[in-house]
């Protein structure tokens, strides 16, 4: 039995992925406090929605998908139900395995995961790190849980804040670029629907090129950039506006925020 405590954006993404991957609804249980949200989840996925204590008692694996700021309260609530042999998986930004281990009974295995929302379309990027009591079998179990909804990499926990800044928050940066390009298209006189179709297909096509050719992004960019052409004119503006430096500063800020959330 797997429990998912916190069924917001990411909790529901995990839940829907498990259901799509063929996990039976009676092998899943959700901990959620709002009755109307509970009804919605039961109607949509056929899962039982119970209180957190009950969810933790019933499950072998407990996935915690609440906000980092709610993690201490939820751990305090469920810790009396946890026992060695159970596995706790935290998907929260910044929360270290040590933070969870300090708040659960000794010997409970803890695994930290940084997922991302493209898991909703089975294109997620999940990074996994084991805590002090996590064995290779625990990591295999978490990998099996997540691999249905995307790619899984195992990383040293020291890299988790950087990973959060890159792939955890990453979809938001990509959507921000997409929004900006669509707005630019509208400024240039294109109908919004046309601009949207052009930008979305350009993104999907470019992503497919990166994956399928394995060619370095610099080379792919150079292939588009004709001498003294349109792309060179655009890229010069991006450099003048320090977009590359802005990306670095943005991701440093995300990394620092992840660290602060777990402090």
Ligand X SMILES: NC(=O)C1=CN([C@@H]2O[C@H](COP(=O)(O)OP(=O)(O)OC[C@H]3O[C@@H](n4cnc5c(N)ncnc54)[C@H](OP(=O)(O)O)[C@@H]3O)[C@@H](O)[C@H]2O)C=CC1
168 binds ligand X (CB under 6 A): yes
**CA-based nearest residue to 89, from 149, 134, 38:** 134
Is residue 1 within 8 Å of residue 58, measured between CB atoms? yes
Of these, 10, 41, 59, 134, which contacts ligand X (CB under 6 A)? 10
Residue 74's binding partner out of ligand A1CAB, ligand X, none, with CB under 5 to 8 Å set by partner kind? ligand X
Q: Which of 72, 112, 69 is nearest to 88 (CA)?
A: 112
Quickly list DSSP for 58-110.
Answer: H-SEEEE-S-GGGHHHHHHHHGGG--BTBEEEE--TT--HHHHHHHS-TT-EE
Options 14, 93, 104, 163; binder of ligand A1CAB; rule CB under 6 A: 93
Give the one residue of 164, 185, 255, 262 binding ligand A1CAB; rule: CB under 6 A.
164
Q: Does 169 bind ligand A1CAB (CB under 6 A)?
A: yes
- Point out the residue whose Cβ comes nearest to ligand X: 8
Q: Report the Cα 189 to chain-centroid distance in Å.
A: 36
Q: Of ligand X, ligand A1CAB, none, which one sits near residue 66, judging by CB under 5 to 8 A according to partner kind?
A: ligand X
Q: Least distance (Å) from ligand A1CAB to the CB of residue 7?
A: 16
Three-state DSSP state, 124: strand
Tokens of 2: 């797997």
* Annotated binding-site members for NADP(+): 5-10
Q: Which residues bind ligand X (CB under 6 A)?
A: 5-11, 31-34, 52, 65-68, 70, 73-74, 91-93, 114-117, 168
């Amino acid at each position: 039995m797997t429990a998912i405590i916190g069924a917001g954006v990411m909790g529901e993404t995990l839940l829907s992925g498990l259901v799509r991957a063929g996990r039976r609804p009676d092998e899943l249980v959700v901990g959620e406090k709002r009755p109307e949200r509970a009804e919605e989840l039961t109607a949509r996925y056929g899962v039982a929605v119970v209180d957190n204590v009950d969810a933790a008692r019933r499950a072998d694996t407990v996935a915690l998908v609440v906000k980092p700021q709610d993690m201490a309260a939820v751990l305090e609530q469920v810790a009396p139900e946890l026992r060695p042999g159970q596995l706790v998986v935290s998907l929260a930004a910044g929360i270290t395995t040590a933070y969870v281990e300090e708040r659960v009974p000794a010997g409970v295995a803890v695994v930290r995961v940084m997922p991302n929302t493209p898991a909703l379309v089975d294109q997620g990027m999940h990074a996994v790190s084991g805590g002090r009591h996590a064995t290779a079998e625990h990591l295999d179990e978490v990998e099996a849980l997540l691999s249905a909804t995307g790619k899984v990499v195992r990383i040293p926990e020291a890299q988790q804040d950087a990973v959060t800044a890159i792939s955890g928050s990453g979809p938001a940066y990509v959507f921000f670029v997409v929004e900006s390009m669509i707005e630019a298209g509208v400024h240039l006189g294109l109908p919004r629907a046309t601009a949207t179709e052009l930008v979305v297909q350009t993104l999907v096509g470019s992503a497919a090129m990166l994956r399928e050719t394995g060619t370095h992004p610099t080379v792919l960019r150079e292939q588009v950039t004709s001498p003294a052409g349109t792309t060179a004119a655009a890229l010069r503006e991006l450099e003048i506006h320090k977009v590359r430096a802005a990306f670095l500063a943005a991701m440093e800020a995300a990394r620092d925020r992840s660290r602060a959330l777990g402090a």
